[in-house]
Each structure stands twice: as C-alpha cells, then as structure tokens.
Amino acid sequence: MNAESSPQPQKSRTAKSRRRDGRTSRRAGGQTPPFVFRDGGREWTQAEMELLGTVADEEAARRLGRTRLSVACKRQKCGIPSFRPWLRPWTPDELALLGKLPDAEVARRTGHPVGGVRDKRYQLGLAQIDRKLPPWTPGEDALIGQFPDKEVARRTKRSPAGVRARRALLGLGDIFDRNPDWTPEEDALLGTVPDEEVASRLQRTRLAVQQRRLKFGIPVRSPFRHQWSEAEMAMLGTESDRVVAERLGLEVSTVVYQRMRRDIPTANPRQPWTEAEEALLGTRPDRDLARKWGRTELGVAVRRRELGIKVFRKKRQARP
C-alpha cells in the first residue's frame, strides 16, 4: 500500500485553533451550539455547567480538571449561588432567629458559622442571648436608669456589659455618666496648660479635654506647638533660652527655633577663642580646660576637633 494513500492520524486541535475556527464560523454567519459555553481557553459544556453550585467549588474544580478560581468565576458569572451555606444571603426566617437564640444555636440551625452569626447580630444591633442567665424581668428592667450599671449588675447578678447591652436595647441613656458636666472653672483652664495636664487635674481623659477645647476654638498649649504672643516674643534674647523655656513651660528647642527664626541674637553670645586657649587644647583633659575657662566641656571638645587636635591621654608610666 502506498504511503501517500495511507490515512494520516488526525492531530488534536489546540485552543488557539478552536478560537480561530470560532471566529471564522462567526464571520461566515455560523452559530455556536447552544450547549457549548466558552470560558478562557477551554469550553464549558452543559454537563459541566450543571455541576456548578451542586458541590463546593474545590470539588467541582477537582472533578472538571479546572482551577477553583475558574469555577468560582464561572458560577458567579452565571448567577449560581455557592454550595457553601455561609456564603449564601440571609433569609428573613434566619434573621428572625438572631437575638432570640444563642449564636451557637443559630449557627447550628442555619448552617452559618458562629462568627458570621455574631457579626450579623452586631450589624443589626441585637444583644446576645445567654442561656445560662434567665430572661430579664420587668422588675429588673425597672432598675435600669435608676442606678448605675454596676449596681444593677450586682443586684441582678449579671455582668455590667450585659446591663449596658440591655439598657441600649431599651433605648435608655446612661444618666450616671462618669464624666459630669463641665463647670466654668474647668472651661477657664483649657488652653492655659497642655491637655495632658488639664486631664490630670480634672480627672478626665485627654481626648475629652481636647474635644472640649476644640469646641470653643481654644488654641492648644503644648511644649512642642505654641502660639506666641507679643509679650512672649519680647522675652526672646533677653535671657538664656533655657530660662525663657522654663518660664513659658516650653521645650528649649522650641525657644531656640523661634529665636533663630526671627534672627534674635542669644543673650549669652559665644566667647571668641584666643590663640592662648587654642594652644592649650589637647594638653589637658577637656573637662579641666572647660572649668578653667568657664566654658562647657562640649564646646571645648568641638573646638579641639575643628582644629584637628587629638584628645588628651595620660601617658602610662613604664614598668620597672
């Protein structure tokens, strides 16, 4: 038999050739069969489509030889709900159970995880039901609002958090607020010292003091951020920066920055170095020279390094 007449084995069609043939058929007016769905390189068949949503996406991907992401995208594109019970939306009957049964019981009945039940209950503003405690009685509800939450918790043998949740469920405010109303004397203290100090004096939180100060538009008094007045500006350069900082309750760096920003010379200008002083640098310890000249040890060390003079080191005596 001739080799030319022998049948050639049919090559498997690649995804690229199938896409090319599909474009050709569409140009020629051909229609794709209704049972074939295209998704990326590999086509989706009717049997594969019917499997979506009946099992988990991981199981469907394993059976179909596809990735889980491909299966999930195809299922969501077709509007098919997930097989996982906690990924489906809540029904009105399931929402009616929230707040009436413990979260674990709602999770067991609905198939949602306990965390999902708790988050949904928090979202709806419903209190948690604990089977260990009996339901609230009218007499216990009457105590809420008449006494602080801790006292109600002690009388009803419940937790303060449970009392707060019950009070919020009844729509009752906390009339026994730990922070009483502000007095004119307390308002007058705002902005005179830093917020931290005001909070310490008034036994309030720093955030409460800050919000009260901002409400009246009072500028902050801070050792790092300060609004300078004309009288305070006049003090710059009259005395040392440290003394000015102590009088104004500020950091020394804040005073130095403001003085240098306005080109105000310091009250204690640096004493120029003489040739005799520079000649002694490195011959004795910096501390001794600083004490002798009335300078700081740091200033002596800086000048010595500027001149390239090594630090004084006491010579060791040779052992006999």
Q: How far apart are CA 119 and CA 311, in angstroms?
A: 69
Q: Are 96 and 166 in the same domain?
A: yes
Domain-located, residue 49: yes
Q: What is the pLDDT of residue 36?
A: 44
Q: Which two tokens stand for residue 178?
A: 């730990």
Q: Which domain holds residue 53?
A: 29-83
Q: What is the pLDDT of residue 22?
A: 56
The dihedrals phi and psi of 281, each to the nearest 5 degrees, come to: -65, 130
Domain-located, residue 238: no
Secondary structure letter of residue 216 according to DSSP:
T
Domain-located, residue 108: yes
Domain count, the chain: 4
Q: How far apart are CA 300 and CA 313, in angstroms?
A: 15
Q: Are 101 and 163 in the same domain?
A: yes
Q: How far apart are CA 263 and CA 184, in angstroms?
A: 41
Q: Which amino acid is at 216?
A: F
Q: What is the pLDDT of residue 224?
A: 60
Q: What is the pLDDT of residue 120?
A: 84
Domain-located, residue 270: no
Domain-located, residue 131: yes
Of 39, 63, 83, the one marking the end of a domain is 83
Q: Are 120 and 73 in the same domain?
A: no
Domain-located, residue 113: yes
Q: How far apart are CA 271 and CA 90, in angstroms?
A: 81
Q: What is the pLDDT of residue 259?
A: 85
Domain-located, residue 78: yes
SS3 74: helix
Q: Are 98 and 163 in the same domain?
A: yes
Q: Are 54 and 116 in the same domain?
A: no
Of 117, 142, 170, the one marking the end of a domain is 170
Domain-located, residue 316: no
Q: Are 128 and 164 in the same domain?
A: yes
Q: Are 66 and 108 in the same domain?
A: no
The residues, ordered by sequence, that sit 6+ positions from 31 with a Cβ below 8 Å of its Cβ are 25
Q: What is the pLDDT of residue 35?
A: 42
Secondary structure letter of residue 257 according to DSSP:
H
Of 83, 104, 129, the one marking the end of a domain is 83
Q: Are 201 and 132 in the same domain?
A: no
Q: Are 75 and 103 in the same domain?
A: no
Is the pTM higher than 0.85?
no
Query: For each of the chain's 320 residues, which pLDDT tens digit applies?
Result: 444 444 454 455 565 565 665 555 554 554 544 444 445 568 888 888 888 888 888 888 888 889 888 888 888 888 787 776 656 678 888 888 887 788 888 888 887 788 888 888 888 877 776 656 677 888 888 888 788 888 888 888 888 877 877 877 777 766 565 566 788 888 888 887 778 888 888 877 777 888 888 888 887 766 566 778 888 888 888 887 778 887 877 777 778 888 888 888 877 666 788 888 889 999 989 888 887 877 778 788 888 998 999 888 877 666 65
